[in-house]
Structure 1
Amino acid sequence: MRPPMSAPAGSVAILGTGSCAPDRVVSNDEVGAPAGVDAEWILRKTGIRERRWAEPHQATSDIATGAARRALEAAGITVDQLSTIVVATSTPDQQQPATAAFVHRNLGGPGSGVAAFDVNAVCAGFVYALDVVSALVARNGGYGLVIGADVYSRILNPADPKSAVLFGDGAGAAVVGPSRSGGSVLTSAFHFYSEFSDLIQVPAGGSRKPYDPAIHDAGLHYFAMDGRTARELSNTIVPGLVKQFLHDSAVLPSEIAHVVPHQPNGVMLDDLAARLDLPAATVHRTVGEYGNTGSASIALTLDHAAGAGALSRGDKILLVGLGGGVSVGLTLVEW
């Protein structure tokens, strides 16, 4: 039996979290009608009761900024103390510059001395970004701001029942910096299955298929997903990766107090929770009221768990992300 992992001296920890979602609440009736399904079918198939969608004037950076401000306040950190801002998103404000640039501007940050950029691992993006920022802060000092944010309502085909009913808009954020109370971002592992790179995608709008009227008429600018295969991959790949990750990290399954997974839909979460074999863990959910918020979902759910007082000092938390690519990210955090 391996000894439990402990946070190293001088480690980097999550110091505060925040989240933000648009005010507009969108019911199953509203999304179901154009997709040809009813509210009861959506709830039964997905476990989603409602979701939030951005108003026409709101972009990803606006919601990301709201989450960032709350995380900074929770951590007791000001924007001028930040050395790094990373936004995980697959729905940026525009192709360039990075959405992180707009967040930095919105926060009123200083004009130099800050690294600000985006990462895109789709729904696993926040886990990737957290690892990158934690490493940069550990090496360079200062404080880092990690944000997961997406506005999927802008890329959904309203007539597609496989995707239009699943997604909501939102953002979650975390401030990382020198540990104050023994907590730590302990370790991460990443996996990629590029043979499934067409499984979850927006086919057009990039250099392969630039936007033109024919692209629009064909609907290739919309999000597309093979949900059945994504569910099968989650069930077959993720539990084994989690088991190996904990083994490699010298952590017993019984030591995991919380699992904060990506929130694809409630039925997939039920399947995943049953296969993880983590007997002491609470699997946290926000999918019922927010839907699948993409890159935001892990960060938003972590903030809700923290805000509810569910996380205690010393708790080991497993973050689990699976996104397009297909990308898988696992991070172990000590609170």
Structure 2
Amino acid sequence: MTMAMPALPVRILGTGEHIPHEQVSSAALDKRWGKPAGWTARHSGIDHRHFAGAGETTSSMAASAAIGALAAAGLEAGELDCIVSACSVPEQAIPCTAVLVQRELGLHDSGIAAFDVNATCLSFLAALDMLTAAIAVGRYQRVLLVSSEVASAGLPWHDPATAMLFGDGAGAVVLGRADDSETGVLGSHFQTFSAGAELCRVRSGGTRVRPAEGMDAFMQGAHFEMRGPATYRMAALRLPAFLRQLFERANVTLERLACIVPHQASVKGLAHLEAALRLPADLLVRRLHERGNQLAASIPVALHHAVISGRLKRGQLVALVGSGAGLSFGGSVLRY
């Protein structure tokens, strides 16, 4: 039996989002691929998504979302003591994206610590778990956590079934130590099954596929590859047990949750989550229909929507859950 974890005194002080300039409808993708009208929307569950336009980079979008989160928290950027970027794909190989976010925020001479955490689509949750522990023991006081994704840069446009699912965007939260018992992180849980390591991948960009050994192979490996049906089957098999263990660690039941903020992977994935947990239709926070799958940014963007729409209020319980390449699962339950 999974043991319950002690709650940690960490509070979400503010949330923010950046919506890229270019709105791309599923009708426009129908025309691009020569599909019948309504094909993309019917198969993806997405009405439209947004793509980064000219001048919009991973770090600039992250900084835009961060400014909103800082304003909601009532803080200035200079009051932070740590900046963490949690993206599936960084803006560049070196230096890390958090360095570029720090510069975008005008903090280039501040000395504020800046580093990345990468766990693909689970990057936000993995970083949240690490920072929760760091804040709880007093290592940091006020931390900016951002997830910003330009998925459109590496989509396989020859594969409509995959390319239609994704959108760009950024979400941010400011974290701080809670000074009361009304907020806190009740529990977190992560699992990885590397039998699924080849199901979702981008092979280039690291040291495995090298430009000097052939640019054709490098360019081919630079596009996102996904074996969708196999990914779904493996996730569907593992998800119910994982969720039971998450809720046991947090010592909560579904009935106590105000909402669940899931990774917006696909309409089929969201439907399976709803069916597996036998959820009421309104418990899941859904943004897929007008954001698409934003990789690691999906969860903080959906969380931001839950907060600003009133779906999630102070003192209420929320579960953040997702999956990512690996194949990995992650989740946290917190009292907002």
Same fold (TM over 0.5): yes
Map of 2:201 onto structure 1: 201
Range with bigger deviation, 122-131 or 245-254: 245-254
Name the aligned partner's letter for residue 225 of structure 1: M
Deviation string, structure 1 residues 157-209 (Cα, Å, up to 9, x no partner): 21211221111000111111022552112221111111111111112232110
Map of 1:213 onto structure 2: 215
TM-score (norm 2): 0.92
* CA spacing shift, 1:133–1:232, aligned 2, 3 Å: same
Instruction: Among all aligned residue pairs of Structure 1 and Structure 2, give the percentage whose two residues are the same amino acid.
Output: 38
User: Is the 2:141–2:176 Cα contact (8 Å) retained in structure 1?
Assistant: yes
Q: 2:139 aligned with 1:137, yes or no?
A: no
* CA spacing shift, 1:103–1:29, aligned 2, 3 Å: same
Range with bigger deviation, 254-263 or 227-236: 227-236
Tell me by how many angstroms 1:5 deviates: 9.0
Range with bigger deviation, 245-254 or 148-157: 245-254
* CA spacing shift, 1:38–1:103, aligned 2, 3 Å: farther
User: Is the 1:15–1:75 Cα contact (8 Å) retained in structure 2?
Assistant: yes
Tell me by how many angstroms 1:21 deviates: 1.5
Range with bigger deviation, 98-107 or 31-40: 31-40
The DSSP-based 3-state class of the residue aligned with 2:38 is helix
Name the aligned partner's letter for residue 90 of structure 2: P
Structure 2: segments with no counterpart, 5+ residues: none
Alpha-carbon RMSD across the aligned residues, in angstroms, is: 2.0
Name the aligned partner's letter for residue 319 of structure 1: L
Map of 2:30 onto structure 1: 32
User: Is the 1:162–1:225 Cα contact (8 Å) retained in structure 2?
Assistant: no
Deviation string, structure 1 residues 107-146 (Cα, Å, up to 9, x no partner): 1226355221111111111111111122222221320111
Deviation string, structure 1 residues 232-291 (Cα, Å, up to 9, x no partner): 223221222111221232212211221000001222211211112455971001110010
Tell me by how many angstroms 1:227 deviates: 1.0
User: Is the 1:18–1:70 Cα contact (8 Å) retained in structure 2?
Assistant: yes
Map of 1:91 onto structure 2: 89
Number of residue pairs matched? Answer: 329
1: CA distance, partners of 2:90 / 2:43:
29
* CA spacing shift, 1:85–1:258, aligned 2, 3 Å: same
2: CA distance, partners of 1:180 / 1:27:
45
Alignment of 1:169-184 (within 5 A): 169-179=168-178, 182-184=182-184
Alignment of 1:1-335 (within 5 A): 11-109=9-107, 111-139=109-137, 140-179=139-178, 182-211=182-211, 212-215=214-217, 219-278=220-279, 282-335=283-336
The DSSP-based 3-state class of the residue aligned with 2:93 is coil
1: CA distance, partners of 2:37 / 2:197:
31
User: Is the 1:51–1:169 Cα contact (8 Å) retained in structure 2?
Assistant: yes
TM-score (norm 1): 0.92
Range with bigger deviation, 84-93 or 146-155: 84-93
* CA spacing shift, 1:91–1:6, aligned 2, 3 Å: closer
Structure 1: segments with no counterpart, 5+ residues: none
1: CA distance, partners of 2:140 / 2:57:
31
Name the aligned partner's letter for residue 76 of structure 1: G
User: Is the 1:87–1:117 Cα contact (8 Å) retained in structure 2?
Assistant: yes
Tell me by how many angstroms 1:84 deviates: 1.5
Tell me by how many angstroms 1:228 deviates: 0.9
1: CA distance, partners of 2:36 / 2:131:
42
User: Is the 2:29–2:40 Cα contact (8 Å) retained in structure 1?
Assistant: no
Name the aligned partner's letter for residue 318 of structure 1: A
Range with bigger deviation, 122-131 or 296-305: 122-131
Deviation string, structure 1 residues 76-124 (Cα, Å, up to 9, x no partner): 1111221111111122111011110011111122635522111111111
